[in-house]
Amino acid sequence: MPTLYIANATVVDATNRAPRTGQGIVVRGGVIVAVGANVVRPSDAEVIDARGRFVIPGLWDMHVHLDMPGGADVLPAYIVSGVTGVRDLAGYWDTLTTWRRQVTAGTRVGPRIYASGPYLEGNPQPIPHIPVKSAADAVRGVDSLRRLGVDVIKFHTGLTRETFFAAARRAREVGMPFAGHVPRVISAIEASDSGMRSLEHLLTIPTPCTAAESLALVPRHVTQRVLGPCSSASLEPLWRTLVKNGTWVTPTYVAAFEIAEWPLRPVPGDAYQQYLPRSLKDYVASIFPMPDSIPADSYRTGRALFEKRVALAGEMQRAGIKLLAGTDAPLRNSPPGFGLAEELAILERGGLTPFDVLKVATWEPANYFGILDRAGSVAPGRNADLVILDRSPLAGAAAYRSVRGVVAAGRYFGRPALDSVLAALRAAAPSR
Tens of pLDDT, residues 173-185: 999 999 999 999 9
Tens of pLDDT, residues 19-55: 999 999 999 999 999 999 999 999 999 999 999 999 9
pLDDT of 277? 96
d(CA 299, CA 231): 20
* Over residues 396-416, mean pLDDT: 98
Would you place residue 288 in the very low, low, confident or very high pLDDT band (cuts 50, 70, 90)?
Answer: confident
Would you place residue 18 in the very low, low, confident or very high pLDDT band (cuts 50, 70, 90)?
Answer: very high
Task: Indicate whether 297 pLDDT > 90.
Answer: no
Q: In the beta sheet, which residues pair with residue 16?
A: 13
Fold (topology level) of 58-116+197-373: TIM Barrel (3.20.20)
What is the 3-class SS of the chain, one letter each residue? CCCEEEEEEEEEECCEEEEEEEEEEEEECCEEEEEECCCCCCCCCEEEECCCCEEEECEEEEEECCCCCCCHHHHHHHHHCCEEEEEECCCCHHHHHHHHHHHHHCCCCCCEEEECCCEEECCCCCCCEEECCCHHHHHHHHHHHHHHCCCCEEECCCCCHHHHHHHHHHHHHHCCCEEECCCCCCCHHHHHHCCCCEEECCCCCCEECCHHHHHHCCCCCHHHHHHCCEECCCCHHHHHHHHHHCCEEECCHHHHHHHHHCCCCCCHHHHHHHHCCHHHHHHHHHHCCCCCCCCCCHHHHHHHHHHHHHHHHHHHHHHCCEECCCCCECCCCCCCCCHHHHHHHHHHHCCCCHHHHHHHHCHHHHHHHCCCCCCCCCCCCCECCEEEECCCHHHCHHHHHCEEEEEECCEEECHHHHHHHHHHHHHHHHHC
* Over residues 185-205, mean pLDDT: 97
Task: Indicate whether 380 pLDDT > 90.
Answer: yes
Task: Indicate whether 161 pLDDT > 90.
Answer: yes
pLDDT of 285? 87
Tens of pLDDT, residues 412-432: 999 999 999 999 999 999 877
Would you place residue 263 in the very low, low, confident or very high pLDDT band (cuts 50, 70, 90)?
Answer: low
Mean pLDDT, all residues of the chain: 95
Tens of pLDDT, residues 219-250: 777 777 788 788 999 999 999 999 999 999 99
Tens of pLDDT, residues 57-100: 999 999 999 999 999 999 999 999 999 999 999 999 999 999 99
